[in-house]
Amino acid sequence: MKYSLLLFFFAISLTKSFSQKTNSKDYFPSAQIWEKRLPAESGFDTAKLNDAIRFAIANETKQPRDMELSQQIDRRQEPFNYGIGPFKERGEPTGVVIHHGYIIAEWGEPSRIDMTHSVTKSFLSTVIGVAVDHQLIHSTGDTVANYIPPIELYDPFASNTGVSEYEKEELLYPFAGEHNSKLTWEVMLRQTSDWEGTLWGKADWADRPDAADPNKWLNRKRNEPGTVWEYNDVRVNALALAATSVWRKPLPQVLKEYIMDPIGASNTWRWYGYRNSWIVLDGMPVQSVSGGGHWGGGMFINAYDMARFGLLTLHKGNWNVKQLVSEKWILQSLTPTTAEPTYGYMNFFLNSGLKKYLPSAPATAFVHVGNGTNIIYVDPDHDLVMVVRWIDGSAVDSMIKRVLNALK
């Protein structure tokens, strides 16, 4: 097994190309250059840091590298668990460690474009934050239904003739009905909406259904918005569709213009939806993107671009004195959800309170998490951002503990 940048001998392999500037807590990499420093130069014990990297590599997830097969295994108890979006075979265990803005360690294949699964949700919540900042959404307390007109489905293969075509559903009303019409942006962002319905061929009840009692799948009590937290990708996709309608253009274009280009991200990331998630928007076909890789799609991105996004959230939406998304929005994203205190806005996993999520990390730390496991660890106390990809979920806290122990 080959690794492009294993750090067992990191201090030896990196030379005078590293920046000799003094530490600066407000260093931001340009689009062309991300300066590096030796671990010792940044206050790390090199041997201990290398031990943490070895640990991450040794604890590679046991899931298959074929992401579609992995999804089928992981979701084998779900009805309708077949893929409807693109999948990609993943690469080696990979990571990047950023301290005071500088790269101090990297391993695996940080330039490789891979699926990032539900880390995608943090990009989704961020473009909604930008919509709030621009007053396209006046308040997260507003009901989503008031912003969403009937949505026309786009089918390039539809026939203009035949009785059956007139019987076919052509308009979507994702926030109609007694329950869905009262849902706010807030409960959708916090995964406490209990949105009901079917979208892109996937029913809300079919995502992580009750394995103990299948009779509840179609006949369960509907919870009041805000009272019960449930991680549900169908509802996330409904939120993505709503955001697309508000912006009146594809969300990847919004993310590129307002976030990814300003932080100097590469031009290689892509945000995909599904083969059947196309709508007509202002007379043009537009793909509504997915919030993760549950059925394929989501963000396909490299570790460096993930780290840049993590650095943006570390600085509360500010990038080199430019506020790309408001500090208020980041603080809202980091506010615990009443029904699930380890969760903020999707997909900000919080460590506040009892440090339930990451016992070895500070309470102020938070993590953007996706299946795989893919994480962007953000630690304001230590001015630290870390991307770790394809690590077993049970090893994440131990890996972070080792990195923090390496910091003198």
pLDDT for position 159: 55
Q: What pLDDT band is residue 355 in, cutting at 50, 70 and 90?
A: confident
The tens digit of pLDDT for each residue in 378-390 reads: 999 999 999 999 9
pLDDT for position 160: 54
Res. 19: pLDDT tops 60: no
Res. 353: pLDDT tops 80: no
The tens digit of pLDDT for each residue in 128-156 reads: 999 999 999 999 999 999 999 999 999 87
The percent of residues in the chain predicted with pLDDT above 90, rounded, is 80
Res. 192: pLDDT tops 90: yes
| Dist. CA 363–CA 351, nearest whole Å | 5
> What does pLDDT average to over the chain?
90
pLDDT for position 404: 98
- The residues pairing with 152 across neighbouring beta strands, listed in sequence order, are 171, 280
Model confidence, pTM: 0.91
All residues at 6 or more sequence positions from 178 whose CB lies less than 8 Å from its CB, including other chains: none
Res. 9: pLDDT tops 60: no
pLDDT for position 136: 98
The tens digit of pLDDT for each residue in 278-335 reads: 999 999 999 999 999 999 999 999 999 999 999 999 999 999 999 999 999 999 999 9
* Structure-model confidence comparison of residues 13 and 156, the more confident one: 156
**What's the rounded mean pLDDT across residues 242-257?**
98
